[in-house]
Each structure stands twice: as C-alpha cells, then as structure tokens.
Amino acid sequence: MNTANQMCLECGKPLKGRRDKKYCDDQCRNNYNNKQQHGTDEPVRRINHILKRNRQILKEALGNDRTIVLAHEALLEKGYDFTYHTDQFVTQTNQVYHYCYDYGLKKNDNNRYMIVKKMEKKN
C-alpha cells in the first residue's frame, strides 16, 4: 500500500508518522467519529419517524372499524408517505398489502386504499 498519500480522514491533511495513523490528532479522530455516528443514525431516525407517522395515520383513520377505504389524496393530505412500509403481504389472489407495523393498506380501484389492521397470527 502506498502510504505517501495517506491523509487525515477528518481534515484531509497529509499524515506524517506512523503508517497506521488515520487522523492528525485526537480532535480530528473525535470529530470524525462524531460525524460518522450522526451520519449513520440520522436516516434511521428519519425513516423510523416516517414509519411511525404512517402507522399513526392508518390507526387514526381506521379507528375501531375493521376496514375503511380512503382516497389516495386523503392519505397524502394526512401526510402518509407511500415510500416506506415495514413489510408486505401478497394474497393468493395477488392482492398486495403494505404494512407499517400492525396497520396496512391495499390499493383498490379508483386510486382508493383499503386500510386494515393486521390479523393476529395464531399458531
């Protein structure tokens, strides 16, 4: 490996000294690690937030009903994000349910969605 061009992972300055050095000093190492931590966690937090919001929207829309049908626009207005779901279920008749945790929806005709609560699985 060519060590002549080794640079600090944090500030990009050329490194001198030990071959296995990755940072100028402790400060650069700490800054880099903090950013990594933040950088990897942020999307997780963001997507978890969307999934929880999706679930809350479905839960509130469904209330105590077993199923309810809502227009695509109505879901969008509530802030539902169709990009994210936790899992999907395809029935034998090729109906696709997308779930956010224990609440899910299935696309019907006319741009409408049927909202359901996941059945408890009994072993």
Q: Give the residues lining the site for Zn ion (CB under 5 A).
A: 8, 10-11, 24, 28
How many other β-carbons are positioned within 10 Å of the β-carbon of residue 15?
A: 19
Task: List the beta strands (DSSP E) in the chain.
Answer: 67-71, 87-90, 96-100, 103-107, 112-117
Between the two ends of the chain, the Cα-to-Cα distance in Å is 56
29: left (phi over 0), alpha (psi -120 to 50) or beta: alpha
